[in-house]
Structures are given as C-alpha cells and as structure tokens.
Structure 1
Amino acid sequence: MINVFQPTLGEQELAAVAEVFNSSWLGSGPRTRQFEEAFAAHLGVDPENVLYINSCTAGLFLATELLELGMGDEVVLPSISFVAAANAVASCGATPIFCDVDPHTLNPSLEDVAAAVTDRTRAVVLLHYGGYPGDVARIAEYCRKQGISLVEDAACAVDSRVAGRACGTFGDIATWSFDAMKVLVTGDGGMLYARDRSVADRARRLSYHGLQQANGFTKAQVSHRWWELDVREFARRVIGNDLTAAIGLVQLSRLPEFVTKRRQVTEYYRRELVGMPALRLPPPLPAGHRTSYYFFWIQMDAAIRDKVAADLYRNDIYTTFRYPPLHRVPAYGSTSVLPGSDQSAEETLCLPLHQGLDQADIHHVVTQLRKSLEANANH
C-alpha cells in the first residue's frame, strides 16, 4: 500500500537515540533544550520563547489556559481543521465558533474570519491548511486591531513562510506537530511559541505541574532543600523529553531535503494532472508564500469522489480527506451554515505525499487516478 503519510527515519536518528540511552537521562534535559534552541533559530525567534512539549494538541490546550479562556468566551476557528483545536476550546468552557473556508484553498480568508467575530470573541485559532500559509498576515493584523488573540495551529506548517517570516510567528501563540504523520517527526511531540516572554515563562510552568522550579538541580543553587515544592498554579505534565528531542534535532537538520523531495512530488503531480477536465488542483501559491508541502489535494465532482477513492484503494493507493468539517460534529452544537467547508468536504481527496515516495510510486498514483477519473467521468 502506498501511504498518504510516512516518516523518513534512518541511521542518524538511531545513533542520536543511542546517545541518549548511553547518557542514562531520557527525560527533559540538555537535548530538549538543544532542540528548542535549534527550532527557535529555524523560526528566527528567541529560544526563551519556545517550549518543547509532548504534542501539538497539548499546545492547543495549553494555549486556552494561557489566554484564560472560559465560559462566555467565543473562539473563531475554521471548520476545516483538526478536532484537537475545537476540543481545546470546548474543554475550557469557551464556545467554538466555526468560520467558512475557501472551497479550493481550504484556508479561511480574513473576510471569513471577520464574519464570525462578535463582541464575545476572545481569540482566533488559525490552521495553515496543507502547509499553505493562507491569509495569515491580514488575519494577524486584524486580530491586533480588534484586541483579539491569535493562536496559530501550525501543525501542517513546519517550514511555511510569508515574505521570509515563519508561519507561527504572526500571532500571539503557536503550536507545531511532530507526530508520526508529519514532515518532521519525533514519534509524538510538538513545539509551542509565545510572543510575550512572560506568557512563555508561564507556559513552561504550566507544562510541568505549575512548578516554579522544574529542575531540582537549579533550585539546589539557592536552597539546601532543593526537593521542596513551589507551586503557584495547578497544572499537568506535557513536557517533551530528550529521547524524542534527539530524533527531532536530526529531523530538523534534514528538513530542507524533506521539503525539497515533497516539492518534487508535488511538481510531478501538477505536471501530470494539469488540464484533466474532471480535476481541480490546488491553487498556486501567492507571491512571497512558501509551503511545507504537507498535503497535495485534488478536487472533483462530489458524485465521483468516493468512487475514485475506492478505486485507488483497490490498487494499493491510500487516500483520505483531511479535515472533516467541525461544524457538522454534533458535540459542538454548531448551527453554522458554511457552504465552502461543505463543498470542500465532498469534493476533496488528499493524495500520497511524503519524502519516501519513489518515481514508481507517484507514476502508479497518477496512472490509476487517470483510469478512475475516465471510468467515472460519465457516471
């Protein structure tokens, strides 16, 4: 089966893990800090404002705590987004308000976001669909003027930029995902960035039980009883560790080659599929925008989309649609009417895109896709 997502791991990552084993320190420690510093350099921000955590989801939940969201507050987010974002909002007692997206880019415009804002809106949570930055610059400016916090769910956007500026650095808080399906993987893991240093410091405390001093050895410098607790806020443990951080450091060094390979696969798909009458390809990137090439999505008539997916599956090609509309999920109680989100959910299919694909794989994908589209064109 040709997978939609697949990590690239090898001897370098194994060697890094072996070093951690040999150090006898697997928890959060020096490699965690090195990963934070390296990722901060990748973003172009101060490493003190960056925190390695155990998942992007934990970062989204942490963001709601940092913003002190609760009952009566509304948070706007695109309906085409991962369920973790809406769960984070709903779990703190705030109300997720879903906005529409462009049916072809699957990203919301500023106008989509603004249409969902009310006087109860405290924050916007913005996903960069498939690694495409979208309207992030205009949305960030709008949020600042309105006094609304912007959280960037940069799970898909580890190497995405606008005019050289990293996605994730436009808003107030951002989270990235390094799970096993992403471009840069650590198995499980994520990074959090907070623009304000005091917010970043609080994030560090809340990520480790609310302790003022997370490390006993640090406290030992000022107290002979370094084991005593200084807890100012109740919190959980969502920190990362040196084992996964060691993998992340290697993966970050390989990120340029990963993105280059994904771009080559994307260019092949575009070259081979352009002009097919039954098919729409992702719109071209605006000038100055750079993507991480996380998804390559195609769109077709809703009447044949599922048939095409089934045909490809029978030919050992796994496809999917990410992400099912959240405004349709009963648990959130949404009554929003979002035609762009509904249209994209019925017409879109994500093709395999990862750096492990070889020429034979992508040729097979294109060949079988053409056959299926031709067979279903008149149905």
Structure 2
Amino acid sequence: MVIPVNTPLLAGNELKYLTECVTTGWISSDGPFVAKFEQEFSKYCHRNFGIAVSNGSAALDIALKALEIQAGDEVIMPTFTIISPAQSVTALGATPVLVDSDPHTWNMDVKLVEAKITSRTKAIVVVHIYGIPVDMDPIIALAKKYKLKIIEDAAQLHGQTYKGKSCGSFGDISTFSFYANKNITSGEGGMVLTDDKALAERCRKLRNLCFEPNQPRFVHHEIGWNYRISNLQAALAVAQLEQIEHFLTIKRSMGNFYQQKLAFLKEKGYQLPVIQTDASQNLYWVFGIVAPSETEKEALVKHLNEQKIGTRPFFWAMHEQPVFLKKGFFQNEQHPIAEKLARCGFYIPSGLGTSQEQLEKVVYQIEKYFA
C-alpha cells in the first residue's frame, strides 16, 4: 500500500455534523454551519470578520478585487509559491512583481522587497511557506511607509503564530485554504479574514455574484463570482476546527521525529526545514527536503516512489512558469534561491492521518538508500 504525502484525519464530529446537514436538508451555502464556521474561525485567528468561500484561490481573487487592485497596478509577491496569487493578480490586469526566497526559511526574502516598490505598487502579497511565517514586521513597516495594502496568504499555516500573534491576523486582508492537505480541511474551501467591516461586506458581495442589496434580485451592476461554500463543507470545517490544537501537536511531533531521524542528511549536503526563527517555531505543514542537486533529488525520489512512498515536488517558481512567459511576464528574470528550491526540493509524507509506523518506514527507506 502506498504511503501518501497527505492523509487527512477525520476523527471528530465530522460525520455527526455532515449527517445533521443531510437530515435537516441544509446542504447549500445558506446553511447554519457556514455562519458558524465564519464566526469561529475568525475568532480563532483574532479577526473581526470572516467570509467563507469555495477555495483558497477564490479567497485571493476576492481579496485583491475588494482592495481595488486593477489594470496597471503592481503587486509584489514571492516567486516561490503556488500559482494562485500570481494568477489572481494577472486576472485583474495587474502585474506581479517577484521577489526571490530566503535560503534559510524558503519564504520571500523581505530584505529585497523595498527595491521592488515603484509608483505603481499598490500591494504586497505575503505567502507563508511550508510551516514558517514570513518576517512580518519589515513588511508592515514598508506598507505604512509607502501606503501599500497587505494581503496575507496564510493558506498553509492554520494555527501558526508570528511573535505570538496569529498568522492570518496581519495586514488588510488575509486568506486561507481548507484543501484536503491543510491543517484543517473541508475537502475544498477557503476564507477571507479582515477587521474592516466595509471590506468584509464588499467581500461577501463579490462572493455571491454581486447581488445588490435593496435591488431587484437578478439585476447586477458589477461582476463578481459564485464562490460560495456549501453547508456540507462548512460542517466538516467546524468539526476540524474543534480539533486544531490536537492537530498542531501532531504536526510538530512528526516534524520533530523527522528532524531527529534525518539529521544525517545534512552531512550529505541536504537541507532540512528550519526548526525555528526568532519569531516562531516550525509548524511543519509539510516536511520539505532540499537535495544538493536536481540529479540527487530525482534519484532519492525515485527510490522512495519505488518503495511506494509518496513524495511531492516543491513549487515551481513564477518567473519560470510557461503560462506567464507566454504572456510576456518575467522576461529574463533570475531568482537563484527559488530556482534551486524548485529543482531540488521535495516533501515526504506528513499528513495528519499518517501513522507512526508509516513515518518509520519513510525514515527506514531513506536510510536504506544512503546505506
């Protein structure tokens, strides 16, 4: 049997709440679990307002449009991330301006951000990568200095903190994903969080096809999206949120196990995740490994896959994405740290449902490969 890179843990009230949805008939976006999830998750992240949506990419679309990012604007963001932030920026006709990675944390290198700011810059998209948050203090200082908006993509870091403050509580808007591999999941799903009431109302309108209050039902003055979340998804998410602290303990336990057992890889030129920074301890959303070369990564991954152990490559950097190069973006750009991470990085099984026996098998096969 294959050990997948991620297995969700559904051991709480998930079935109970889903059964309630079915027996009451509340399965659409109008069901009571949607509001309950919005209220409880925003409270957990110390935000005033939560707007549940269909997925994390939808959350980014809504966040950027709600902040009035438009054609001609520039938005600073990391090159090493999933495609969603850049896709959302370009869909509005704006231009993503890319920043290379910090070689230690794999996050956006905040020391490089100020040099990217121009008169057209309107916002910074901060994406917390793999378990360690971006250094937020310099980003907040730059946003104040240049009057920029901050969109905080905390999709991977439910429950993580930066200097004791919840990730997802920074900036003008924050976004989350609840995909099956996240710390809490609704299968698919997302959330927009903000402390601004007017901004929250704007996001709710954009989520729901821009239906106008106090207007005839099917008369629209603006284009939005059908990005609603269902009561079924929200019910699953509520049950997951009830277990979040237990989930975080599991994640850190897995990460600590791998750090101890795989420390020998560092002597062979491999890089393991940073254990902690001055601002936080690693949450190990995934346990990433960076090989000394692409060839060595491919050989180790091949061995693991042959032993039915799942792996997943790191993100491919935005400045090397064929779809953006075809559109004329990022011509001749080089971001060497992100390029190495993309080529040499991969992660190993660490889902919440991964058993101790499976973790030990992963370690055994990596040890066997080098033996």
Per the TM alignment, residue 71 of structure 1 is displaced from its structure 2 partner at its CA by 2.0
Task: Give me the whole-angstrom Cα distance separating, in 1, the residues matched to 2:212 and 2:44.
Answer: 28
- Residue 356 of structure 2 is matched in structure 1 by 359
Q: 1:32 aligns with which of 31, 34, 44?
A: 34
Task: Give me the whole-angstrom Cα distance separating, in 2, the residues matched to 1:62 and 1:137.
Answer: 25
- Residue 123 of structure 2 is matched in structure 1 by 123
- Residue 251 of structure 1 is matched in structure 2 by 240
Structure 2 residue 342 is matched with structure 1 residue 340:
no
Per the TM alignment, residue 69 of structure 1 is displaced from its structure 2 partner at its CA by 1.9
Per the TM alignment, residue 230 of structure 1 is displaced from its structure 2 partner at its CA by 6.3
Comparing 365-374 with 100-109, which one deviates more in the overlay?
A: 365-374
Structure 2 residue 363 is matched with structure 1 residue 371:
no
- Residue 180 of structure 1 is matched in structure 2 by 180
Per the TM alignment, residue 10 of structure 1 is displaced from its structure 2 partner at its CA by 3.9
Task: Give me the whole-angstrom Cα distance separating, in 1, the residues matched to 2:39 and 2:282.
Answer: 23
Q: 1:274 aligns with which of 263, 287, 311?
A: 263
Gaps of 5+ in 1: 214-218, 220-225, 375-379
Please report the RMSD computed on the Cα atoms of aligned residues, expressed in angstroms: 1.8
- Residue 291 of structure 2 is matched in structure 1 by 300
Q: 1:321 aligns with which of 306, 313, 338?
A: 313
Amino acid at match of 1:43: C
Task: Give me the whole-angstrom Cα distance separating, in 2, the residues matched to 1:71 and 1:208.
Answer: 23
Per the TM alignment, residue 188 of structure 1 is displaced from its structure 2 partner at its CA by 0.9
Per the TM alignment, residue 232 of structure 1 is displaced from its structure 2 partner at its CA by 4.4
- Residue 84 of structure 2 is matched in structure 1 by 84
- 1:154-190 C-alpha deviation (Å, 9 max, x unpaired): 1101111112211121111111000112121101101
- Residue 253 of structure 2 is matched in structure 1 by 264
Q: Which runs of 4+ in 1 moved over 3 A?
A: 226-232
- 1:177-222 C-alpha deviation (Å, 9 max, x unpaired): 0011212110110110123221111111111121234xxxxx8xxx
Query: Secondary structure of 2:69's partner?
Result: coil
Per the TM alignment, residue 101 of structure 1 is displaced from its structure 2 partner at its CA by 0.3
Q: Please report the TM-score for the alignment, with normalisation by the length of structure 2.
A: 0.92
Q: Is the 8 A contact 2:126 2:134 kept in 1?
A: no
Q: Is the 8 A contact 1:101 1:112 kept in 2?
A: no
Task: Give me the whole-angstrom Cα distance separating, in 2, the residues matched to 1:288 and 1:326.
Answer: 27
Query: Secondary structure of 2:126's partner?
Result: strand
- Residue 222 of structure 1 is matched in structure 2 by none
- Residue 61 of structure 2 is matched in structure 1 by 61
Gaps of 5+ in 2: none
1:10 to 1:200, Cα distance in 2 relative to 1, 3 A: same
Task: Give me the whole-angstrom Cα distance separating, in 1, the residues matched to 2:13 and 2:147.
Answer: 45
Amino acid at match of 2:102: D
Structure 2 residue 235 is matched with structure 1 residue 239:
no
Per the TM alignment, residue 229 of structure 1 is displaced from its structure 2 partner at its CA by 5.0
Comparing 321-330 with 112-121, which one deviates more in the overlay?
A: 112-121
Q: How many matched pairs?
A: 361
Q: Is the 8 A contact 1:159 1:291 kept in 2?
A: no
Query: Secondary structure of 1:372's partner?
Result: helix
Query: Secondary structure of 1:36's partner?
Result: helix
Per the TM alignment, residue 301 of structure 1 is displaced from its structure 2 partner at its CA by 1.2
Per the TM alignment, residue 322 of structure 1 is displaced from its structure 2 partner at its CA by 2.5
1:301 to 1:16, Cα distance in 2 relative to 1, 3 A: same
Per the TM alignment, residue 347 of structure 1 is displaced from its structure 2 partner at its CA by 2.3
Structure 2 residue 4 is matched with structure 1 residue 8:
no
Task: Give me the whole-angstrom Cα distance separating, in 1, the residues matched to 2:356 and 2:289.
Answer: 19
Task: Give me the whole-angstrom Cα distance separating, in 2, the residues matched to 1:290 and 1:196.
Answer: 29
- 1:25-55 C-alpha deviation (Å, 9 max, x unpaired): 2112321101111101111122xx2101111
Task: Give me the whole-angstrom Cα distance separating, in 2, the residues matched to 1:118 and 1:337.
Answer: 19
Q: Is the 8 A contact 1:133 1:290 kept in 2?
A: no
- 1:335-355 C-alpha deviation (Å, 9 max, x unpaired): 321011112122222111112
- Residue 23 of structure 2 is matched in structure 1 by 22
